[in-house]
Amino acid sequence: MKSFDPCYFREQFPLLSTIDKAASEISSLVYFDNAATTQKPLTVINSQQDFYQQINANVHRASHQLSAKATLQFEQSRQLAQNFINAASIKEIIWTKGATESINIVCQSLARDVLSKGDEIVICASEHHANIVPWQQVAKQTGANIQVLPLTDSGYIDISQLDKVITQNTKFVACAHISNVLGRINPVEQVIEKAKSVGALTLIDGAQAVAHINVDVQQLGCDFYVFSAHKMYGPTGIGLLYGKQCLLEKMSPYQSGGEMIKTVSFNKPTTFNSLPFKFEAGTPNIAGVIGFGASIAFLKPLLTNQDKKYQLFEAKLKHYCFLQLRDIEQVEFLVSGEPDIGVIAFTIKGHHNHDIATALDTYGIAVRSGHHCAMPLMETLKLDGCLRVSLAPYNTIAEIDFFINTLKGILSGETLDDNNTVNAVDLKDIHLEGNSSKPTELAKIITLFSSTKGWDSRHREIMLLGKTLPRLEKTDRDEHSLIAGCESKAWLKSSMDKQGNYSFVADSDAKVIRGLLVIVLAAFNHKPAKEIAEFDVSAYFKQLGLLQHLSPSRGNGLLAIVDKIKELTSPSE
């Protein structure tokens, strides 16, 4: 694809099955979570399938024909990657599992060896956890200190603070080219220049950049640049570490094993392979590398084409979506101004971000909610989380209109309205046929959900159930009652009567979690410890048809609530 055409571009992605060449209708899926991972074009999917069907063999060491073909395609992808970011040598392209592993390699193969007590590592306040935690670990190992570059009100690195933060004590500076939450293109050139002036090494996290802008690492002048294939239409589980050859030569291997070895002996010291293989231990993700190459071949012409139609269409989508969101009174953006790429983060006044995201999901609209692996940024902004819409050029104006109209409908409807309890579920009104005894709360929940078909209906019932949950006093919402592992903040307290039966009260900021708490408490309230321990919660959730519809994190949060109950009721040792 040498020139960008929106309709033709969209047609390349099989998952977006309903194609609207007139851009006047939407498909059954509106996918606005592209900052997390992009969809894959047919050329990438076919490249991996073709490898397994026609070539499948290990690379580099075998002498047979299949291995030669596999090695040729594998190394052609490396050459494509070198050209993609304009690295000076193919030896500077190291295959990794992704941007996260790439950062860890730099931390453990270089930073750990050169840092000492009192040295400083500078990172930005808006970094992804993947560009924070590895540096925290190496700081702990070496006695180095972490310094943080602050942000402006618009969400950019505050270059006026560079001289104060990057000093003669600074040995490494690591920052994102583009923030995965704020969508800002950071002034990394100025950061790199300042780092060089004090002799510090630089690592740029390009995970959010490479699908949107043309990257030239030689022009940037950074020492390391990292990114992952899956955010640029490529496969998951494969990424790239670019490093200047002079630095990579000095670094010790990150892992040991096959391929990164030159000679092994019981009588002589083991010697390591030359670059880039020194950092590629074991059988590589060959199909992933070939798929990565296919994604580069697919994307590079669009990023470098002089007509800039790809970037212009992205900008059109971003600008339109931003303006439509800005017109909604309850929407509050995290920072001032329109983002530089189609990554738009916001909160909804009076509503929890998880409630909005879950409600949108019932209409087939995929957005992301939570802290977006940027907890320090959320802490800086005094937020528990936010919503994020992230766009790609296979999205359409029609999809944005559907999203905006749906969001407006949710905000004006009864489902998320705390003040409207007319339609709230009253479990007292549910009667079980053929059962003359007083039905339990558990039986009523099962009856309610057995007659509810489809996730949209189940979601509505969960939201309505949340309105029936009594709220905890703020004084009871403390670290002792906090449920660890729950996606949204949730709290649980227990008490036991004279007969040994337990009762529970719980609360959450998110309405959807409050509804799930009603469902969980119905199974455990007013029961002794033995019954609580023996209750088959997996069968219960399966009967209600819940877990298959919940996101993995929310499903884990549901199980975390159960774990908290069992922890509170288990006999003390």
Active site residues: 373
For 492-549, what is the HEC assignment?
EEEEECCCCEEEEEEEECCHHHHHHHHHHHHHHCCEEHHHHHHCCHHHHHHHHCCCCC
3-state secondary structure of 401: helix
d(CA 255, CA 270): 14
3-state secondary structure of 128: coil
Give the pair of three-digit tokens for residue 364.
Answer: 């087939």
CA angle at 69 for the pair 67 and 72, rounded to the nearest 5°: 105
E strands in 248-360: 261-263, 271-272, 331-333, 343-348
d(CA 150, CA 527): 52
Give the pair of three-digit tokens for residue 298.
Answer: 């697919």
3-state secondary structure of 24: coil
Q: Does an H or E element contain 390, and which? A: strand 386-390
> CB–CB of 157/127 below 8 Å?
no
Helix, strand, coil percentages for the chain (3-state, nearest 5): 45, 15, 40
> CB–CB of 361/403 below 8 Å?
no
